[in-house]
Amino acid sequence: MSDPLLSVDGIDSGYGETKVLRDLSLSVDRGDVVSLVGRNGAGKTTTLRSIMGIVTPTAGSVTYRGEDVTTLPATETVKRGISLVPEERRIFPELTVMENLEIADHGGGTEADSLSIAEALETFENLRERTDNAGSSLSGGEQQMLAIARALVGGADLVLLDEPTEGLAPYIVQDLMDVVRELNEQGITVLLVEQNVHVCLELADRNYVIDQGEIVYEGTSDDLADNDEVLDRYLGVSV
Amino acid sequence: MLGGLIQQLLDGLTIGVVYVLLAAGLSVIFGVMHVINFAHGELFALGAYFALALIGPLGGGTGFFVALLVAPLLVGVIGVLIERFTVRPLYGRNPLYHILLTFGLVLVINDLIYVGWEPGSVSMPIPEFLRATVDVLGASYALYNLFIIAFGGAMAFGVWALLEYTKFGLIVRAGSQDRQMVRNLGIDIDRYYSLVFGMGAALAAVAGIVLGGYQTVSPEMGTSIIIPAFVIVVLGGLGSFKGAVVAGLLVGIIQTVLRTHVPILEGLVIFLLMIGILLIRPQGLFGSEAHDDDGGELLTGTGGVLDSQTRTRLAIAMVGLLALVPLGVGTLYSPYVVSLVIEILIWGLFALSLDFVMGYTGLVSLGHALFYGTGAYAVAIVLLNVSQSAFVAIALAVLVSAGIAWFVGFLSIRVSGVYFAMITLGFAELFYNVVSRLEITNGSDGLFGASAYYGVAGVGVDLDSIAIFLGSVALTGQMLFYYVALAALLGAFLLTRRMLQSPFGSVLKSIRENEQRATFLGYETTVYKRRAFVVSGALAGLAGGLFTLNTGYATPSFAHWLHSGEVIVMVILGGMGTLYGPILGSFVFFGLEDVLTDFTARWRLVLGTVFVLFVIFLPQGLVSLPSQLVPYLSGGSSPETEPTPEDPGFGGDG
């Protein structure tokens, strides 16, 4: 088995005095969709922020394509091909859809050539008619699509999706899952953070369950779907 | 008639364009970096002075145009340096620290102008051909004004195009909406900060040069234009370029028209407009939804290294020592020392009053001189017109100040952070302009010659006509007043300390730490903040009242924004959120001033520098010095092992 694309080894991370993650490890293989699922406050977002370099881990390491990126700031990790699609999407509300894409377009990434804006608009057709609209005028689902498109225009090979389905209507969640699948087929690797385990089970090749800053379970979607104990104990889902 | 109106419109546009250039830079700097740059006015003045220096050897023809090109570049470089070395270390802290920092820079740059150039106004030589007049729709009009409108308009248009159509502009605009997300996209936005600051500084310089040619150039030109510039930024919407343009032109025209038709309103209308806008639509005409005050909380002085018993003893010793001061007059020093310490005590009281709201509820009032001025004028008016009783005058001063504080608080406390700072500044400037114009306050000259007796209903004593003999020392006049001031300060200290130890104080502190959580606990935080503000206003009024009681005069400058700034300096210098820190700050402020003036007339330069260094390196003030030094002195142990917990009793040094 070749080296994973992303490997997180035993990181501790947190904010000031508060430790959020303890000795957390996970890995993501090239071309996979991997999920990190857990309850509110389990440390999911902090994990993504630590990978991204918004928070610097106090112990352990983050390796991407064999390069140690533990202490790199976000501005540098992006250039290596990791892109974060944050919770709440964080579209620039007063920029137009086009400008939201243009600002990301600086030719980073290495493997999958960064999507041109035209190509991104091909994939995300509902954005196409709205290029001159302000970001704030988009619906939640459209904003989520724009946030993903923005990451791809920026040349992401690995997209970190932070709770993409949060607050979206069920039929839009379906659209979104289709988009993630489509991108994955085009060669984009995805690390998906979710509270909604059903989305994970449907999309992910492998799943990590996180609780109180530690990984408590790792397994394929089929295994996780059958593991009532984990689902019940850590995710509060009775399947 | 029509000619006159067009004349006024063009005059208004001329000033308006200058405002636009100033406000555009201010607004963009705020939008991207969340920095309220008080030094912007000084950069504006610096531009004019650099231009003067360049025109000197070159002459007013080509020299003017060379200056118009080179001076803004120089000021732009200075802006870059200011950002790089003073503003940058403060990112991530509460944006209010930038207000404090740039206020320190105002003192520094303003004094540097006095070092480099003569005081007083000079006129800027402009090219001969621009001195001509032209006919505009029947009105004869100075060509230079049209030049300002055209050139300033072109500059503003250029900036707009830069922001709208370049990658640089795109990043700046995105950065003003969500900085971290810009970083997440791989753009090192911090590198752009210096550029943005430099660009704003250069625009201010251009404004200073063109206005210098229209009016005159003087060292005060920066301090007098910065407040209207802020008003415009707030009106237009913090961070909005379009807002700065519209509001700048609007204010320029309104001011000019009012000056001709309703002169009494000229200085008032813009502040009324600002207050109104902040209350109805805090984000201004074109601003986006209120900017969050991101960044950390205000850093308050941490408890000292002494235990509370030692602190109490130290406090009593300090008070005892202070009580002895008048006794040394004549033998150890001149009476001047007593009047100096009186001023220190009064300002100590003033600083303490500000600390009560700023240090304990996190409300930074940029207009606290309003209450000081109210107290001073109330005493002067009562003594001159109503009753010569000091007690009556002071009681009324405290009541009126409390009343005004209640009114201002009632209107302002619904907005927070930067907006609150701006609205209090607006009220203070409004007061300043009102007392400068009213007859009862004797306009800009102020009131003089108020004298008082200590008693009521005609029964009492005049401090100058009695004396208390203590051995060889006769205490009289000011030496007796000294004890009045000391008692007032001590009383205010004990009162506020008692209030803070009560449940009321705990709520205030919880508001400062996290207002939302305090709300969730069921406290109506607005009510608590308003009450604290009233107490603070009353004490500030007491301070101003005492000053007038002692000196017999009150002038509009008491309410000037520089006064409000100075008292903030004292609070920070000593240590916010400690009550005794600000008193210490007052001692250090006046002590430094007194010592420095013996050596140099440029004491503000030194003081400003000290203050800037404090904001950057010791934001918790002098009182935190011992606890910061202890880890180094006790040797070996690393300095960051123990973050000093907040002292629960905040002791009692005086």
Interface ipTM:
0.85
Tokens representing B86?
A: 């003073």
Higher pLDDT, A211 or B96: A211
Share of chain A above pLDDT 70, in %: 94
Give the per-residue pLDDT at B654. 32
Question: Which residues in chain B have Cβ-Cβ distances shorter than 8 Å to A150?
Answer: 185
Measured CA distances, B313 to B215, B308, B622 (Å): 59, 9, 20
| Of B87-101, B232-246, B281-295, B411-425, the least confident | B281-295
Print the domain residue range for A18: 6-223
Mean pLDDT of B212-231: 88
On whether the CB atoms of residues B593 and B347 are closer than 8 A, the answer is no
What whole-number distance in Å separates Cα of residue B75 and Cα of residue B72? 5
In 3D, which of B213, B223, B93 has the Cα closest to residue B148? Answer: B213
- Checking if the pLDDT of B171 tops 80, the result is yes
Question: Which residues in chain A have Cβ-Cβ distances shorter than 8 Å to B187?
Answer: 75, 103, 106
Sequence ranges of the domains in chain B: 2-118+127-280, 308-633
Residue of B nearest to A72 (CA): B186
Q: What would the pLDDT profile of B149-161 be if each residue is shown by its tens digit? A: 999 999 999 999 9
On whether the CB atoms of residues A194 and A35 are closer than 8 A, the answer is yes
- A54, A94, A103: residue with CB nearest B185: A103
What whole-number distance in Å separates Cα of residue B652 and Cα of residue B654? 6
CB atoms within 10 A of CB A18: 7
Higher pLDDT, B312 or B297: B312
Sign of the alpha-carbon torsion through A127, A130, A132, A134:
negative
On whether the CB atoms of residues B432 and B376 are closer than 8 A, the answer is no
Contacts of B231 (CB under 8 A, 6+ apart): B251, B270, B271, B273, B274, B426
What whole-number distance in Å separates Cα of residue B155 and Cα of residue B17? 10
Give the per-residue pLDDT at B505. 85
Strand A67-68 to A189-194 pairing: unpaired
- B171, B184, B288: residue with CB nearest A78: B184
Give the per-residue pLDDT at B400. 95
Query: A155 — alpha (psi -120 to 50), left (phi > 0) or beta?
Result: left
Contacts of B300 (CB under 8 A, 6+ apart): B359, B512, B575, B576, B577, B578, B620, B646
Q: What would the pLDDT profile of B372-398 be if each residue is shown by its tens digit? A: 999 999 999 998 888 888 888 999 999
What whole-number distance in Å separates Cα of residue A183 and Cα of residue A148? 10
Which of B166, B181, B189 is the best residue to mutate to test the A interface, defined by the most A CB atoms within 10 Å of its own CB? B181
Mean pLDDT of chain A: 85
Q: Phi and psi of A206, rounded to 5°?
A: -135, 155
What whole-number distance in Å separates Cα of residue B73 and Cα of residue B57? 19
CB atoms within 10 A of CB B153: 17
Which of A49, A80, A83, A92 is the best residue to mutate to test the B interface, defined by the most B CB atoms within 10 Å of its own CB? A92
CATH number assigned to the domain covering B2-118+127-280: 1.10.3470
Give the per-residue pLDDT at B379. 93
Q: Which helix (H) or strand (E) holds A210?
A: strand A206-211
What whole-number distance in Å separates Cα of residue B121 and Cα of residue A235? 74
- Within-domain flag for A236: no
- Specify whether domain B308-633 bears CATH 1.10.3470: yes
Mean pLDDT of B214-220: 88
Question: Which residues in chain B have Cβ-Cβ distances shorter than 8 Å to A93?
Answer: 177, 288
Give the per-residue pLDDT at B636. 43
Which amino acid is residue B100, in one-letter code? L
Cα dihedral angle (B33, B35, B36, B41), rounded to 10 degrees?
-90
Q: In the block, which residue shows the tokens 């984009």?
A: A188
Give the per-residue pLDDT at B376. 94
**At B648, is the pLDDT very low, low, confident or very high (cuts 50, 70, 90)?**
very low
Q: What angle do CA B160, B163, B168 make, to 5 degrees?
A: 150
In what order do the strands lie in the sheet containing A33-38?
Answer: A82-85, A158-162, A189-194, A33-38, A206-211, A214-220
Q: Phi and psi of B273, rounded to 5°?
A: -60, -45
Strand A189-194 to A158-162 pairing: parallel
Q: Phi and psi of B125, rounded to 5°?
A: -70, 130
Q: How far is CA A38 from the centre of its chain?
A: 14
- Within-domain flag for A238: no
Measured CA distances, A113 to A89, A100, A110, A157, B405 (Å): 23, 19, 6, 8, 62
Tokens representing B307?
A: 């235990």
| Of B138-147, B504-513, B623-632, the least confident | B623-632
Q: What would the pLDDT profile of B498-550 be if each residue is shown by its tens digit? A: 998 888 888 888 887 777 788 888 788 888 889 999 999 999 999 999 999 88
Sign of the alpha-carbon torsion through B242, B245, B251, B254:
negative
In 3D, which of B277, B146, B168 has the Cα closest to residue B214? Answer: B146
Q: How far is A137 from chain B (nearest CA, A)?
A: 14
Give the per-residue pLDDT at B294. 47
Share of chain B above pLDDT 90, in %: 28
What whole-number distance in Å separates Cα of residue B497 and Cα of residue B360? 11
- Report the helix count and the strand count for chain B, using DSSP H and E: 24, 6
Give the per-residue pLDDT at B298. 61
On whether the CB atoms of residues B209 and B72 are closer than 8 A, the answer is yes
Tokens representing B483?
A: 């004890």
**Chain B 153-212, CB below 8 Å of chain A: which residues?**
167, 170-171, 173-174, 177-178, 180-188
**At B453, is the pLDDT very low, low, confident or very high (cuts 50, 70, 90)?**
confident
Cα dihedral angle (B258, B263, B268, B270), rounded to 10 degrees?
20
Give the per-residue pLDDT at B173. 87
Question: Which residues in chain A have Cβ-Cβ distances shorter than 8 Å to B288?
Answer: 93-94
Which of B28, B91, B171, B185 is the best residue to mutate to test the A interface, defined by the most A CB atoms within 10 Å of its own CB? B185
Q: How far is B93 from chain A (nearest CA, A)?
A: 15
Number of separate domains in chain A: 1
Give the per-residue pLDDT at A119. 76
Could you give the 3-state DSSP secondary structure of residue A206? strand
Q: What would the pLDDT profile of B234-247 be if each residue is shown by its tens digit? A: 888 888 888 899 99
Question: Which residues in chain B have Cβ-Cβ distances shorter than 8 Å to A104?
Answer: 185-186
Question: Which residues in chain B have Cβ-Cβ distances shorter than 8 Å to A106?
Answer: 185-187
- A75, A93, A150: residue with CB nearest B183: A75
CB pairs under 8 A between A and B: 62
Could you give the 3-state DSSP secondary structure of residue B282? coil
Range with top average pLDDT, A68-72, B347-351, B439-443, B647-651: B347-351
Question: Which residues in chain A have Cβ-Cβ distances shorter than 8 Å to B177?
Answer: 92-95
Mean pLDDT of chain B: 83
Q: What would the pLDDT profile of B5-56 be if each residue is shown by its tens digit? A: 788 888 899 999 999 999 999 988 888 888 889 999 999 999 999 998 988 8
**At A222, is the pLDDT very low, low, confident or very high (cuts 50, 70, 90)?**
confident
Contacts of B227 (CB under 8 A, 6+ apart): B425, B429, B561
- Give yes or no for B69 touching A (CB within 8 A): no
Whether B170 sits inside 8 A of A93 (CB atoms) is no
- A52, A102, A106: residue with CB nearest B184: A52
Which string of DSSP letters, residue by residue, matches A66-122? TEE-TT--HHHHHHTTEEEE-TT----TTSBHHHHHHTT-S---SSSPPPPHHHHHH
Could you give the 3-state DSSP secondary structure of residue B293? coil
Q: What would the pLDDT profile of B273-304 be if each residue is shown by its tens digit? A: 888 887 888 777 777 654 444 445 566 655 55
- Within-domain flag for A230: no
| Of A36-50, B91-105, B203-217, B347-361, the least confident | B91-105
Whether B170 sits inside 8 A of A79 (CB atoms) is no
DSSP classification of residue B125:
P
- Checking if the pLDDT of B347 tops 90, the result is yes
Whether B178 sits inside 8 A of A90 (CB atoms) is yes
DSSP classification of residue B511:
H
CATH of the domain at A26: 3.40.50.300
Give the per-residue pLDDT at B263. 77
- Report the helix count and the strand count for chain A, using DSSP H and E: 10, 10
Q: Which helix (H) or strand (E) holds A192?
A: strand A189-194
Q: How far is A90 from chain B (nearest CA, A)?
A: 7
- Checking if the pLDDT of A228 tops 50, the result is yes
Which string of DSSP letters, residue by residue, matches B14-59? HHHHHHHHHHHHHHHHHHHH----TTHHHHHHHHHHHHHHHHHHH-
Residue of B nearest to A87 (CA): B181
What whole-number distance in Å separates Cα of residue B571 and Cα of residue B513? 19
Mean pLDDT of A221-232: 82
Contacts 24+ apart (CB under 8 A), B151-155: B151/B68, B151/B210, B152/B17, B152/B18, B152/B20, B152/B21, B152/B206, B152/B207, B152/B210, B153/B17, B155/B21, B155/B203, B155/B206
Whether B186 sits inside 8 A of A75 (CB atoms) is yes
